[in-house]
Amino acid sequence: MSKDYYKILGVEKNASTDDIKKAFKKSAMQHHPDRPGGNEAKFKEINEAYQVLSDTEKRQRYDQFGSEFEQQGGFGQGAGANWGGFSGGDFGDFGDIFGEFFGGQGRHTGPARGQDIQVDVEIDFKQAAFGIEKEISLRKQNKCDVCSGSGGEPGSKIDTCSTCKGQGQVTQTQRTFLGAMQTVVACSDCHGSGKKPSKKCKHCGGMGVVNSASTIKVKIPGGIDNGQSIRLDNQGEAAPHGGRNGSLYVRVRVKPLDGFIREGYDVYTEEEISYPQAVLGDKIEVQTLDEKVKLLVPEGVESGQLIRIKGKGIQHLERNSRGDHYVKIKIRVPKKISKEVRKKLEELKNEL
């Protein structure tokens, strides 16, 4: 009797490869025999369906002939004949699932890495444009200053771990649906270092780390934008038992600058001019990020027109250049005018 592999995985017949993969992972996690409520027979059936539907050629044959497609020729063995050895499927997918089943055991055999941490730092608009060095104060897990992170009392002897014989790792055997599976994990006795102090440090209790205040200098590059982060390797939490430090992520918050708007590496400001200046043109003084400059307003400029000041914008992050400063012109129209001015405007109106 032909099996409905699509129904077994809970997908439609037009399901994509990604949909099939997601459905397989979900069902495999649910029915794995080593999990509560797992079902080995159901797990084998799910795997059999995935072996076929994840393979384009096998899927085409299955759609044409059903689950007995191997009897039609072209395949030397059944769809599920070698499921235990992953002969027809994506071994990488199973590796991901095993990582979830067994908590990633076997992938890491040395001392654990320290935690990554994140701090926020606030800078002003101009500091973000040109860069600045900031000093950050925080409390975090640091190497013990008494034992220098070794976990041993100063002067005590460091012995080879008797559990792992100095290897830092041990082999464990676990029962799986494939039978006995061996995994290599970090030694829990020496935490992957292969060595143990004869006496534990009294200051840190043998952990090699203590919680203490830290002051860290960080160079914030010119051109950084609001919400962007800088990663400082080895400046995060120290790892117990001599592991590698985590990373420190410094997230930048940029305070706005009144009158300045940033778009990429360009800045925009607005300047008001009178109607005569718009008609006749003029030179006006404009405040840029670093200095005041004279800007030539051309004759006949229109309200809303942008005039570019080249190279007066934000410092580029990856090259030694700057964006531009754009000045938006706004023509000022007076609400009240004298009779004399009105008369002149009427004359000008008739002339134009």
Measure the CA angle with vertex 270, ends 267 and 274; round to 5°.
Answer: 155
The residue assigned the tokens 């029962």 is: 175
DSSP track, 179-190 = EEEEEEEE-TTT
Q: Cα separation of 50 and 59, whole Å?
A: 10
CB 216 within 8 A of CB 138: yes
Q: Cα separation of 14 and 35, whole Å?
A: 31
* Phi/psi of residue 247, nearest 5 degrees: -105, 155
* Phi/psi of residue 117, nearest 5 degrees: -135, 160
Tokens standing for residue 256: 């706005």
Binding residues for Zn(2+): 144, 147, 161, 164, 187, 190, 201, 204
Task: Report how far apart, in Å, the C-alpha atoms of 48 and of each of 44, 93, 178, 289 are.
Answer: 6, 14, 14, 66
Q: Cα separation of 237 and 229, whole Å?
A: 17
Tokens standing for residue 19: 């949909």
Q: Cα separation of 56 and 225, whole Å?
A: 46
DSSP E strands, 48-157: 117-123, 131-143
Task: Give me Rg for the CA atoms of the chain.
Answer: 35
Tokens standing for residue 293: 């400059």
Binding residues: 144, 147, 161, 164, 187, 190, 201, 204
The number of residues making up the chain comes to 352
CB 243 within 8 A of CB 113: yes
